[in-house]
Structure 1
């Protein structure tokens, strides 16, 4: 079967089928181009074991389970797997805190550029994940609000994570050159230079605008599915609607390649 990339009709996302047995640089170039265009790539029934999860993720950058310093937070639900400890196991029996719109690891000075996630154990019902398009969120702001957002910087970081960082509210994607909103409910704590009342009002407005259904795509998982997303221009939300059922995923965070 040859590689097929089918764009979804929603605001972001494409479905990739026909992954070859060997993951090489040619495949990496094809997938990277699609990743930049569609923001999220879904791989139904890819059945990536941990070795192939690392192999596929490595086509896009250096891998880590978390982010530098995050391991110092001493959270007992964090289980690292893989030969190099670059895989983070997300087990619903230990933690279900991702049911809020967020972008991964923005409390770090250098957040991950993306993530590759593989569904290991899937509930029979529920447990979908949603993603939203932060390019579209920025581009559809009213012009006066865009001008305001362009001028602001925000602090990211919340307990129990110890890291904090300040990022522009609007960033420029280093590959596509497109402007993107870069705030989220999960990690953005406040806007620099504003009172808490002013900051909360602006963040609420920006987040509510970004989270409109028109900006989103929703994926219904099956065991063996995988998803790759661009952390620089998306948010995601893991829906916690599956009761006592078990849900286990393996994730690698992707970072820019270290200089040789």
Structure 2
């Protein structure tokens, strides 16, 4: 069902009963500060929004992302594109057999359920993806709603989660960078990145709504709990979050744009496209957006 909104005659097509909406009638190259404010309001409601048929030029992505607030570097430890230091080029094609081997219950070798860059002291507020090259089949991206997961917890678990803090460590995400044959520069950057602590429950500054902050690829434990207690509670919360009713799956076409509230959503990319090429660009926007 399509719902009209005032901004430039856009229309909203909800994708599930919980999160995700496609916004029709938007041209990101024609957007301005007013358009960005309207899109942020839609993000507050839907968590993640999608724009089809947009430009594939990463320079246009940079200009569009800058409408939402100060842009962050492409990645804390990886370079951006030449001339576009805030844009990360993700060449994620040519899936190998080892990529789909399980590393743990929520992660595989090549990808995983995650929130972007929680191993940094300051979390990105927004993440944006731009599909430049997509495989003929597969390579979808999944999103799961951490706000809905928090709301659906029993009252005792909400109270407990709201009192806890988690350790986030980039070394859990990039263990291969610590091998003897790894790039020395990457290894040094990783070793200099100290673990950080974030609350297990965050409050959104715009809406006042609360959400879990889960990141299976970075969290090493909950402060003050034993490893068994920590692993058991985190597994329960993650499994609770990843039920189908709290997820949406996006099938990419070239030029699609995805925008989401980074702390509110887990996301994951499906490694089912074999040797086909896949190129996705990413931008991140700071908290003050």
- Which deviations, in whole Å up to 9, do the C-alpha atoms of 1:37-75 show, x marking residues without a partner? 1110101111241222111111111113435xx22xxxx
For residue 39 of structure 2, what is the aligned residue in structure 1? Answer: 31
Q: Say what the alpha-carbon RMSD is for the aligned residues.
A: 2.0
Deviation at 1:94, TM superposition (A): 8.7
Q: Secondary structure of the residue that 1:5 maps to in structure 2?
A: strand
Segment of structure 1 superposing worse, 233-242 or 46-55: 46-55
TM-score by length of 2: 0.81
Q: Identify if the C-alpha distance between structure 1 residues 110 and 98 changes in structure 2 by more than 3 Å, giving closer, same or farther.
A: farther
Aligned pair partner of 1:178 in 196, 206, 209: 209
- 1:119 aligned residue: 131
2:89 is the alignment partner of 1:86: no
The unaligned stretches of length 5 or more in structure 1 are 72-77
How far apart, CA to CA, are the structure 2 residues paired with 1:124 and 1:4? Answer: 28
Residue 101 of structure 1 aligns with which residue? 113
CA distance in 1, matches of 2:84, 2:253: 27
Number of residues paired by the alignment?
250
Contact 2:74 2:85 in 1 (8 A): no
Q: Distance in 2 between matches of 1:113 and 1:170?
A: 15
1:7 is aligned to 14
8 Å contact 1:23–1:55 — kept in the other structure?
no
Does 1:63 pair with 2:88? Answer: no
Per mean C-alpha deviation after superposition, the further-off stretch among 172-181 and 7-16 is: 7-16
Per the alignment, residue 48 of structure 2 pairs with 40
Q: Which structure dedicates a bigger proportion of its chain to helix?
A: 2
1:93 Cα deviation after fit: 4.8
Shift of 1:154: 0.5
**1:141 aligned to 2:156?**
no
Deviation at residue 171 of structure 1 after TM alignment: 1.1
Output the CA distance in 2 between the equivalents of 1:83 and 1:15: 30
Q: Tell me if the contact between 2:118 and 2:215 (Cα under 8 Å) persists in the aligned partners.
A: no
- Cross-structure match for 1:50: 58
Distance in 2, matches of 1:85 and 1:126, equals 29
Contact 2:127-2:284 within 8 A present in 1 as well: yes
Contact 1:132–1:216 under 8 Å retained in 2: yes
Could you tell me whether the CA contact under 8 Å between 1:11 and 1:132 is conserved in 2?
no
1:158 aligns with 2:167: no
Identify the range of structure 1 (18-27 vs 229-238) with the bigger mean alpha-carbon deviation: 18-27
Rounded to whole Å, the distance in 2 between the matches of 1:231 and 1:204 is 21
Distance 2:221 2:287 in 1: 27
| Matched residue SS, 2:252 | coil
Q: Note if 1:228 corresponds to 2:259.
A: yes
Structure 2 CA distance for partners of 1:250 and 1:107, relative to 1, 3 Å: same
Equivalent in 221, 239, 242 of residue 208 of structure 1: 239
Structure 1 residues 244 and 84: alpha-carbon distance in aligned structure 2, compared to 1, 3 A threshold: closer
Counterpart-to-counterpart distance in 1, 2:55 and 2:110: 23
